[in-house]
Amino acid sequence: MVGRTTKVLSFSLSPEMAEEIEVLAKKERRSKSELLREMVHVYKERQAEEEWQDLFAFGEKTAKRFGIKNEDELFKILNGTA
């Protein structure tokens, strides 16, 4: 006998949000589980994008602080050839 490959979760939603999920799932002809899995996937992608944007902003700020004008200058500094 093979065990379950998924885990059942139980959580509370407002009646309005529960209805929205029902409507979206029916509209897309997907199960509520599929819809929620996709929502989590999209959320994780958005979080990763926000982290990348934060890192990029930090890099720009640091480059400005050190007077680094472009990637070539940065690579020269990193390679010890500047």
pLDDT in tens, 7-59: 999 999 999 999 999 999 999 999 999 999 999 999 999 999 999 999 999 99
Across the range 65-70, mean pLDDT stands at 92
5, with CB counted inside 10 A (0-12, 13-18, 19+), is exposed
What's the pLDDT at 3? 83
User: The pTM is what?
Assistant: 0.71
Q: Is the dihedral of CA 47, 51, 57, 61 positive or negative?
A: positive
